[in-house]
Amino acid sequence: MITFASFPAPPEFDAYLGTKHYEDNDMEVDLNEDDYEPSGRKLTSPGEVLTSSHAFMRGHGTFVENEEVIASVTGTIERVNKLISVRAIRTRYNAEVGDLVVGRITEVQPRRWKVDANSRQDAVLMLSSVNLPGGVQRRKVESDELQMRTFFEEGDLLVAEVQAFFADGAMSLHTRSLKYGKLRNGQLVSIPPVLIRRLKSHFLSLPCGVDLILGLNGYIWISKLTKANEQEGEEGFDAEAVYSSRNDDINEATRAAVSRVTNIIRVLAAHFVPLTDTVLLDAYEWVIEQEGDIKDILSPEVGEALVTAISAQR
Amino acid sequence: MSSRVEILNDGGYRSDGRRQYELRDITIDLSPRGTADGSAMITHGLTEVMVDVFGPREAKLRGQTLHDRALLTVEVGIVPFSTGERRKRNRGDKRILELAATIKQTFEPIVQTNLYPRSEISIFVSVLQQDGGLLPASINATTLALLTAGIPMTDYVTAITCGVHSTAPLLDLTTLEENDLPHLTVASLPRTFKVTLVAMETRLHVERVSECMKIAGEAGKVLHQEMKRAVEARTKRLVQAMDMAPRIGGVGGGVDRDVDMDEDNQT
C-alpha cells in the first residue's frame, strides 16, 4: 500500500488535504516556507533544482543532471515517499489502463481503427476488441474485416475503455461492453483533461433529460437520455442499433437541455473548475433559476456569476 | 555607413530614449486560444509575436514520424501589415523558412522529445508587428507557449539581440538600429548559461563578440525572471481555480478564495 506524503501545509489549510498523511520527517527537500502556495502545493518551472538525486527518485516531469533532480515542466510538485514528480497543470491526456475515454475515429486500417483521444498519439481500436453482430464472443472472420466501415467510419464518435499500451506508448482501446460503442444523439465538448476527476461512474444522467459521458481524456459527450430498456443484456445485442449512425428524433426541450449543459461545461472549463456530477447539477439549477437565454450562459458576466455561485455553495 | 539618426547620443541615450543596456517593455499574455494546447503572446517594445503550440499529437505526415522521439515542426507566418513596407510573404519564402528552421534548431536540444516517440509537436509562430528583434521575440514566445502546453523542457530559452555601435554594445535593437549596426542574436539557457543559438547576419568584429555574448547572457537572466514570473502567475491562478471548486466529499472553509479570473497581462 502506498502512502501519500504531501508537503506540510500551513495549518489553516489542513482541512482540504484530509486524505493525505503528513510526516514531520526531516528528509530535506530544499523548500522555503514562503514558496508554499496557499493550497499547500508548491509550484515549480523548468530548470529549477528540486533536490538531490541521492535521496530522491525522479518521477514524471523531472530529469537528473549533475546528481540533482530538476523540474522539466511547470506545475505542482508531488512527492510519494521518495519519488519526486512534477505534474503539469495543463497538458494532453496521459492514459491509464481502465480509463474511460471518448474518441473520434480518424482512420480505418487493416483490422484496426485509429482513434483520436486527445492523447499524444492516436489510440488503436482493434477489430478484435469490439462487439460484432451475431453473437457474444465469436471469431473475427474475413467478412468482418471487409465491412469494418459499417461498424465505425472516419469521424464517428465512440466511447471506449483503455485496454493496454503498446511499446511506444500508444493506447489500445476496447468497446466490449454494451456501455461502450458508437455515440449518437448528442454533442461533444472538449475541455482540459485535468478538469475531469475520477468518479465512481463516468456515465451520468442528469434529471433534465440529458445523458453525460465524461471521458477522462477531456472529451465529454452530452446526449439525449437513453431509456434503460434499450440497454439490454448480452443476448439482446442489436448490431443495427449499436452501430447506427442515424440520430433519433430529439425534441426541442432536450435540445435546449443539451445546449445548456454544453454551455455550462464550457464556462466551467474556461474558469478552470474541475467537473463533477454535483458541480454540474448545482450549476444547472443555478442556470434554470436565472431564467436567461441559453446563449447568455457564455457571456462573461453570467459565467463569472455562475462560478461564484457554485463555489459559494460549498 | 552613417545614418541621419543618431544611434547613441553624447548623453548615452539611444534614439528611443533608452540606455545602452536597457531592454524594451515586455508584455506577456498566456491566455489560452482556440484549440491550441499552449499559447503565448509576447511584445518586445513594438515587436509583437504570437505562438501557438499543438501537441504532442499524432504526426500529420506519417513519413516523417521518428520512432525514438517526437517530431518538432515550426511554421512561421508574418502578416503583411506587420512591417513598414507592406509586402506579402508566402509560406515558401526563403526568409520565413530560415526563421522557422532557426527556431526549430534552437528548441530541438531543449525540448525532451525522446519522451514522445512517434508524436509531433507543432509550433505556429505568427508575427503581428515587427520592430527589430523578430527572432528573439519568436524564441521567447515559443518558450512560453511550450511551457503552457506542459511540454517538458530542460530549461527556459531566452533570446536577445546585441549590437555594437563603434565600441559600445547595445541590447535589444529596434529596426532602425538593426539596419545600421552589426548585431547578433543570442539564445541562452539561464540555468546553465549555455548558449543554444547565435545568429549573425552582419559582420561583427571578433574582439566585440565575447563582450556581446556576456551582456546578452546577463540580459537572458533578466528575461528569464520576467518569463518565469508570468508563467508562475498563470500556474498559480489555475491551481487556485481548481482548488476553489467544491471537492468531492471534502469541505471547503471560510477562507478567502477570491480569484481574479481575468487573463491580464503581466509586465
HSE at residue A115, side-chain half, CA atoms within 13 A, is 30
Position B158 in a domain: yes
- Confidence band for A189, pLDDT divided at 50, 70 and 90: very high
Position B112 in a domain: yes
CATH number assigned to the domain with residue range A11-88, chosen from the 4 options 3.10.20.90, 3.40.640.10, 2.40.50.100, 1.10.10.10: 2.40.50.100
- Confidence band for A191, pLDDT divided at 50, 70 and 90: very high
Position B192 in a domain: yes
Q: Long-range contacts made by residues A266-271, C-beta under 8 angstroms, separation at least 24?
A: A266/A189, A266/A191, A266/A298, A267/A297, A267/A298, A267/A302, A267/A303, A267/A306, A267/A307, A268/A191, A268/A195, A268/A306, A268/A307, A269/A189, A269/A191, A269/A192, A269/A195, A270/A303, A271/A303, A271/A304, A271/A307, A271/B241, A271/B261
Q: Considering only alpha carbons, which residue of chain B is nearest residue A64? A: B154
Q: Which among A6, A34, A65, A120 is the top mutation candidate for probing chain B, defined by the most B β-carbons within 10 Å of its own β-carbon?
A: A120
Query: Which residues of A are less than 8 Å from B244 in CB distance?
Result: 273, 311
Burial of B10-35, coded b for 16+ CB within 10 Å and e otherwise, reads: eeeebeeebeeeebbebebbbebeee
Position B137 in a domain: yes
- Average pLDDT estimate for A15-26: 37
Return d(Cα A115, Cα A95) in angstroms, integer.
13
Residues B137-196 have pLDDT tens digits of 999 999 999 999 999 999 999 999 999 998 899 999 999 999 999 999 999 999 988 999
- CB-defined contacts A:B, below 8 A: 152
Instruction: Please tell me the predicted confidence (pLDDT) of residue A30.
Output: 47
* Every domain of chain A and the residues it spans: 11-88
Spatial strand order of the sheet with B183-189 comes to B168-171, B158-165, B183-189, B194-200
Complex prediction ipTM: 0.82
Residues B55-104 have pLDDT tens digits of 899 988 888 888 899 999 999 999 989 988 887 777 778 999 999 999 99
Say which of B70, B149, B242 has its CB closest to residue A274. Answer: B242
Residues A215-225 have pLDDT tens digits of 999 999 999 98
- Average pLDDT estimate for A54-79: 92
Instruction: Please tell me the predicted confidence (pLDDT) of residue B261.
Output: 41
Instruction: Output the domain CATH number for residue B72.
Output: 3.30.230.70
Domains contained in chain B, number: 1
Return d(Cα B259, Cα A216) in angstroms, integer.
26
Q: pLDDT at residue A286 above 70?
A: yes
Structural domain containing residue B56: 26-244
Nearest-Cα distance to chain B for A254, in Å, is 27
Position B14 in a domain: no
Instruction: Please check whether residue B51 is in contact with residue B142, taking contact to mean a CB–CB distance below 8 angstroms.
Output: yes
Q: Considering only alpha carbons, which residue of chain B is nearest residue A306? A: B245
Position B10 in a domain: no
Instruction: Please tell me the predicted confidence (pLDDT) of residue B248.
Output: 44
Say which of A190, A278, A311 has its CB closest to residue B244. Answer: A311
Chain B contact for A92 (CB, 8 A cutoff): yes
Chain B contact for A99 (CB, 8 A cutoff): no
Query: Which residues of B are less than 8 Å from A36 in CB distance?
Result: none
Position B226 in a domain: yes
Instruction: Please check whether residue B188 is in contact with residue B235, taking contact to mean a CB–CB distance below 8 angstroms.
Output: no
Surface of A (124-143) touching B: CB under 8 A: none
**pLDDT > 90 fraction of chain A, expressed in percent and rounded:** 47
Query: Which residues of A are less than 8 Å from B231 in CB distance?
Result: 45, 74
- Average pLDDT estimate for B108-122: 93
Chain B contact for A274 (CB, 8 A cutoff): yes
- Average pLDDT estimate for B20-43: 93
Say which of A61, A271, A278 has its CB closest to residue B246. Answer: A278
Instruction: Please tell me the predicted confidence (pLDDT) of residue A314.
Output: 61
Instruction: Please tell me the predicted confidence (pLDDT) of residue A117.
Output: 93
Say which of A122, A170, A273 has its CB closest to residue B245. Answer: A273
Query: Which residues of B are less than 8 Å from A122 in CB distance?
Result: 58
Mean pLDDT for chain B overall:
87
Chain B contact for A199 (CB, 8 A cutoff): yes
Instruction: Please tell me the predicted confidence (pLDDT) of residue B255.
Output: 33
Position B233 in a domain: yes
Cβ burial, residue A309 (10 Å; 0-12/13-18/19+)? middle
